[in-house]
Structure 1
Amino acid sequence: MHMADALLSPAVGGAFAVISGGLIAYCARRVGRESDERQVPLMGILGAFVFAAQMVNFAIPGTGSSGHLSGGMLLAILLGPYAAFLVMASVLVVQALIFLDGGILALGTNIFNLGVWPCFLGLLLYRAISGRNGSAWRQCLATLIAVVVSLELGALGVVVQTLLSGRVSLWFG
């Protein structure tokens, strides 16, 4: 899910732009130090795949909204957390600038919600549950749990950021 600019105040959007920008800089330094040049083509191919997969939207009947696949967990498992976060951020930048998916003000929040949770926390959950030499069944279970937790935290992030912005009143009850 991508947040729209209309849901955010400039203060919240700006704060998450700074947070996400700092994470991008940190991850770029880590990837530059720890990765070799053979990983770069894989990052590009996986980025193209995730970009295409995330462009397929599924309508949610009766809500006027839609959902789509998210590739952060796949990227994290295959590339590691730092490269995965960079690829996810790149995909979201292209989607925001070219396809107007989300928006410029919401770009930092979208990078945070769709990148931080799966690439860092989701990967930790996956590794903890699957173990070093886990069976295929255990790896599938670990993936399912990590993906669900990551997506739910991303959705919670949207709600919290919307509430902090004070642009929309959300009724709970």
Structure 2
Amino acid sequence: MHMADALISPVVGGTLWAATAGMTAYCATKISKEKNDSLDSYKIENYEKKIPLMGVMGAFVFASQMINFTIPGTGSSGHIGGGILLASLLGPEAGFLTIASVLLIQCLFFADGGLLAYGCNVINMGFFACFIAYPLIYKKIMKGNYTTSKIFISSILSVVIGLQLGAFGVVMETLVSGISELPFSTFVALMQPIHLAIGLVEGILTGCVLSFVYNARPELLDNKQKEGGKMTFKGIVTTLAVITLIIGGGLSLVASSNPDGLEWAIFNVTGKEELKSDSKTSEVLSGIQETTAFLPDYSFKDSEGEVGTTVSGIVGSAITLGVCALVGIGLHKSKQKSHKAN
């Protein structure tokens, strides 16, 4: 559901860039100023452990988004958004910062999603999942004792709701932008059902990952849970890193070639998978993106083939892991300074 620049006006794009910047500042500030004196030493140590987890989960989401799964009977495909998965393991603030980092890397280095539309994509795929669906759906269902069935139910419902809000956000953003080629009633009638199907698949996949993590290290999902489980923390991080490498370097080769839900909806409305923009702002930003994207569309420039996809999956996952880990380290150091000052 990565929006292209042609789907929005500069005003809408700029407004949601500002909203994304504001949310980023809010998340960073809240994490750094969270009071450790209200936590016991175990919870502080558990917080510090999430720094490497932030890196590996960012890489995992990056790699997973490269795998489009077919939606039977539609001619469309979908990929995971990852917002609920990240919020469940890292918390909503760190989850939002991670998905924002993933989307920025995809945009700048792989030309996946427009630069003008970056703020829209972060709000649609990050904000709705991390700050609406996660606290209001996932956490409400997960109150009390954790069970595998509750994990699956909460994952499916929260992912579906979050993706429905994100899909409706796309429709509203095109409407406010005055994109007449995408009339509201027709566009929304296509966007919501196809993303319902995509959300159901993503919800099941999210439930599988969270169930694995909970059985391996339950304290990563439930801060009240003391350490225990079938794997060490290092083991689970290593396992997720290996899975990420397999997904990015291998499974990405068998991704569906069908258009994703957004492209499918646009095609069924306009007869084209992509729209063109006459905006000077969009033209300038597209030029910047062409310069920074060394593997556009996850392939080598002016060439096609599986090698580019494999390299994109591995390199992109490595970059994402490093960036997200650095973000986590920066937040942790800021948190330490904040407590020393107090």
**TM-score relative to the length of structure 2:** 0.48
- Of 47, 51, 54, which aligns to 1:43? 54
- Please state if 1:168 is matched with 2:192: no
Q: Is the Cα–Cα contact under 8 Å of residues 114 and 154 in structure 1 kept in the other structure?
A: yes
2:15 equivalent in structure 1: 15
* Residue deviations 1:88-110 (CA, integer Å, cap 9, x gap): 00000000001111111000000
| Separation in 2, partners of 1:143, 1:169 | 35
Q: In 2, Cα distance between the equivalents of 1:130 and 1:37? A: 23
Q: 2:161, 2:149 → 1: CA distance? A: 18
Number of the residue aligned with 1:80:
91
- Aligned letter for 2:2? H
Amino acid at match of 2:144: R
Shift of residue 139, structure 1, vs aligned partner: 2.2
Alpha carbons of structure 1 residues 92 and 126: separation in structure 2 relative to 1, 3 Å: same
Structure 1: state its 5+ residue gaps: none
1:159 paired with 2:164, answer: no
Local SS of the residue matching 1:38: helix
Query: Mind listing any 5+ residue stretches in structure 2 that lack a counterpart?
Result: 35-43, 187-342
On the 8 A contact 1:163/1:169 being kept in 2, the answer is no
Cα distance change, pair 101–62 in 1 and its aligned pair in 2 (3 A): farther
User: 1:1-173 maps to which residues of 2 (within 5 A)?
Assistant: 1-34=1-34, 36-58=47-69, 66-124=77-135, 125-171=137-183, 172=185
Q: Equivalent residue for 2:203?
A: none
Any idea what SS the aligned residue of 2:78 has?
strand
Q: Look up the equivalent residue of 1:88 and give its one-letter code.
A: I
Q: After TM superposition, give the deviation of residue 168 of structure 1 in Å.
A: 3.4
Deviations 1:27-86 (A, max 9, x none): 111222338543221111110101110122246689886421111110000000000000
Post-superposition offset of 1:167 = 2.2
Aligned residues: 173
Q: Distance in 2 between matches of 1:53 and 1:69?
A: 7
CA distance in 1, matches of 2:67, 2:54: 20
Letter of the 2:55 counterpart:
G
Check whether the contact 1:89–1:111 (CA below 8 A) recurs between aligned residues.
yes
Structure 1 range deviating more: 15-24 or 131-140: 131-140
Aligned-residue sequence identity (percent) comes to 51
**How much does 1:169 deviate?**
3.3
Q: Is the 8 A contact 1:122 1:146 kept in 2?
A: yes
Cα RMSD (Å): 2.1
